[in-house]
Amino acid sequence: MSLLKPFSKLPDLNTANILLVENEEQFQQNLADTLAEETAVTVNVRLAKSLPLPMENDESRPRIDLVVFIINLTSDKSFESAKASLKYLDPGYFLGKVCFVATNARHASVRTGCLDALRQLAALLHCPLLFAEDQVSTSSARRLLTILKVASGLVPNTTALYLSSLTRCTMPPDIDQPSFD
């Protein structure tokens, strides 16, 4: 099993490496362009359709600081592919180095329960869940960049694990069964 490991390579100086995993391979291109515009640090954006990553690039690939799964809520295949890719991630990534981005959440053809299922998955894995529209706006890229900077150690006194308890997705309690502890 070729797991992607977070600490198997040396980190790069003043660089942040991010991996965008998307089944449709559309949104990730725009997001990559917006992310690469950052000038303060060098942002390396790697694109992938799914995990596991091909073995041929393994030597030249840098150490990945943040793995982002881009899930299009209008297609079930997107979600399934992301879930299947999760198996190829080393558990060390789930301490704040994995992020989910959901697109098209406001689209009419979103199947009911799809967003809930994604939320539940993100809550189970203690990962943040961000939302973005089809057209990449600077604000969604900026949010991702903030998490990326923390994950690559560029923010002093903050590590990915520290941030994860602030950004992790939580399931809203059931409206039918109010729980007042």
Among 58, 92, 111, 142, binds another protein (CB under 8 A): 92
Assigned token pair, 168: 């992790």
Q: Report d(CA 86, CA 70) in Å as an integer.
A: 12
Of 88, 18, 15, 73, whose CA–CA distance to 47 is shortest?
Answer: 18
171 near another protein, judged by CB under 8 A: no
173 near another protein, judged by CB under 8 A: no
Assigned token pair, 166: 């602030």
Between 39 and 109, whose beta carbon lies closer to another protein? 39
Between 52 and 74, whose beta carbon lies closer to another protein? 52
Between 31 and 99, whose beta carbon lies closer to another protein? 99
74 near another protein, judged by CB under 8 A: no
Angle at 159 between CA 157 and CA 161, to 5 degrees: 135
Between 62 and 110, whose beta carbon lies closer to another protein? 62
Do 70 and 21 meet the contact criterion of CB atoms below 8 Å apart? yes
Among 24, 25, 90, 133, binds another protein (CB under 8 A): 90
Among 67, 160, 167, 169, binds another protein (CB under 8 A): 160
- Residue 125 belongs to what H/E stretch? none
Do 61 and 46 meet the contact criterion of CB atoms below 8 Å apart? yes
Which stretches of the chain bind another protein, using CB under 8 A? Answer: 1, 3, 5-11, 13-14, 90, 92, 95, 152-156, 158-162, 165
